[in-house]
A = this chain, B = another copy of it.
């Protein structure tokens, strides 16, 4: 491990920890202490946390052990992206305008996670209002590189072994891109799966709460609990999935190594028994990638109308520019973009008939150098706008030794089938091999 590498590839997943706890080999307190050791060693460099309360976390772990760790997440520490409200810890939305804000209650997602046995370890750094302007978090694989954004503290914290799983949110590529850059797993469930009450929603028609974790099963555990599902999500599918491969609408932006990775993964999955075909996205589906920036821009300008009116000086210059552009959109343009997005979502469902998954790139390449830019969400925008489930899985390394990820996409509302098929793929990739 290099001087600057803080990625904990050996940290135990939530799923493995739950099994060890059930077998009597592990306590919630011992699991937490292992996380706290990594935090003590690396948080000064990684800066994943916006807020943390160690005594409260220890009390929660002790209580979980005392109570027998009931629920899907019994005894599991969870990171919470700092655009999601928590009663016990401040919620700052990545903006000085909200610095030190103490909500009265927990967001719906956090309350359901806690009702499912998990507990809040800390708030994780977000870019400004989950948009572009970055926080201080560094990539645990190389501190000179961005962890991606906007769910940057969640992705970096999972990679560094600070917690096995965390909440993220995605409007364009804010779960999948940082997960790919940090060599961990991201899962954005179908739009509408997790209630957004108590989240600072930017785009009503795009924002989706999801999970970043050490594996798909960890992500699925958190999403199941946070969506009020008391049941364990399904394991890997028995039968091999039918997969459509496409570089996606951002094909021109993909690095050589990302193109090679995609071809390599397709070949491996085909060799493992999957039906893999190259596919072309029809214009009716690609239209969602044109609509997404308009919907995001117009709706974000509405979401931040108070901040723009009352505290514009505390917004980043880029945000001010974007909000002004969003507010200046003709209403008919925003309406038309919403309609176009909905039509494209329907066209995508038709196009996917007879297939289980899309396989595409999770990001153009490795995490860019520098902490001033969180990278390009161009590989994620289309799929977010189509509203179906997406996941990024770590699948290799680039020339700078940083992780590369692939993206899998399913159908709106069919998350159980998506997770089954995606876990089949994950099992075949088994990374590190």
Docked complex Cα distance between A202 and B108 (Å): 10
Docked pose: A136 CA to B87 CA in angstroms: 29
Q: Which of B115, B192, B339 contacts A205 (CB 8 A)?
A: B192
Inter-chain contact A229/B331, CB cutoff 8 Å: yes
Is A33 part of the binding interface, using a Cβ–Cβ cutoff of 8 Å? no
Our pick among B98, B107, B204, B339 for the contact of A196 (Cβ within 8 Å) is B204
Q: A71 within 8 Å of B by Cβ?
A: no
How far, in whole Å, are A418 and B198 apart by their CA atoms in the complex?
Answer: 33
User: Is the pair B299, A195 in contact by a Cβ cutoff of 8 Å?
Assistant: yes
Interface presence of A221 (CB below 8 A): no
Do the beta carbons of A335 and B413 come within 8 Å of each other? yes
Known contacts: A98-B104, A115-B309. The answer to whether A197 contacts B197 by CB under 8 A is: no
Q: Tell me the bound Cα distance from A414 to B331 in angstroms.
A: 13
- A101 interface neighbour in B104, B195, B230, Cβ under 8 Å: B104
User: In this complex, what residue of B is CB-closest to A224?
Assistant: B331
Q: Do A303 and B228 touch (CB < 8 A)?
A: no
A70 CB → nearest B CB, Å: 14
Q: Which of B114, B197, B228 contacts A200 (CB 8 A)?
A: B197
- A306 in contact with B106 given A192-B204, A301-B228, A331-B228 (CB within 8 Å): yes
Query: Could you tell me the distance in whole angstroms from the C-beta of A131 to the nearest C-beta in chain B?
Result: 14
* Any B CB within 8 A of the CB of A110: yes
A298 in the interface, Cβ–Cβ < 8 Å? yes
Q: How far is the CB of A417 from chain B (nearest CB, A)?
A: 12
Copies held by the complex: 2
The residue in chain B whose Cβ has the minimal distance to the Cβ of A195 is: B302
Residue of B whose beta carbon sits closest to that of A298:
B228
Give Cα distance in the complex from A303 to B200, angstroms: 14
CB distance from A269 to the nearest CB of B (A): 29
User: B303, A195: Cβ atoms under 8 Å?
Assistant: yes
- Contacts of A306 on B, CB cut-off 8 Å? 87, 105-108, 110-111, 198
Instruction: Provide the bound-state CA to CA distance between A266 and B303, in Å.
Output: 41
Contact with B along A178-201 (1 / 0, CB 8 A): 000000000000001001111011
| A312 close to B (CB within 8 Å) | no
- Let me know if B98 and A302 touch, CB within 8 A: no
A47 close to chain B: CB less than 8 A: no
A104–B104 Cα distance when bound, in Å, is: 11
Task: Tell me whether A360 is interfacial, beta carbon within 8 Å.
Answer: no
Question: Is there an interface contact between B227 and A331, defined as CB atoms closer than 8 Å?
Answer: yes
CB < 8 Å: which of B97, B200, B338, B413 contacts A339? B413
The answer to whether B204 and A327 touch across the interface, beta carbons within 8 angstroms, is: no
Digitize A21-65: 1 where CB-to-B-CB distance is under 8 Å, 0 elsewhere: 000000000000000000000000000000000000000000000
How far does the alpha carbon of A327 sit from the alpha carbon of B195 in the complex, in Å? 13
Most chain B beta-carbon neighbours within 10 Å: one of A107, A110, A192, A197: A197
Q: Which residue of B lies closest to A201 (CB)?
A: B197
- Ordered nearest first, which 5 A-B pairs have the shortest CB separation? A111-B305, A111-B306, A195-B302, A106-B306, A105-B306
Please name 13 further chain A to chain B contacts, defined as beta carbons within 8 Å, in addition to the given A105-B307, A197-B202, sorted by A numbering. Answer: A87-B310, A105-B306, A108-B302, A108-B303, A112-B305, A115-B309, A192-B204, A195-B204, A196-B201, A197-B201, A228-B327, A228-B331, A231-B331
For this complex, 19 residue pairs linking A to B, each with C-beta atoms less than 8 Å apart, are A87-B310, A105-B307, A105-B310, A108-B302, A108-B304, A111-B308, A112-B302, A114-B309, A115-B305, A195-B299, A195-B302, A195-B303, A196-B204, A197-B202, A197-B303, A228-B331, A335-B413, A338-B413, A339-B413
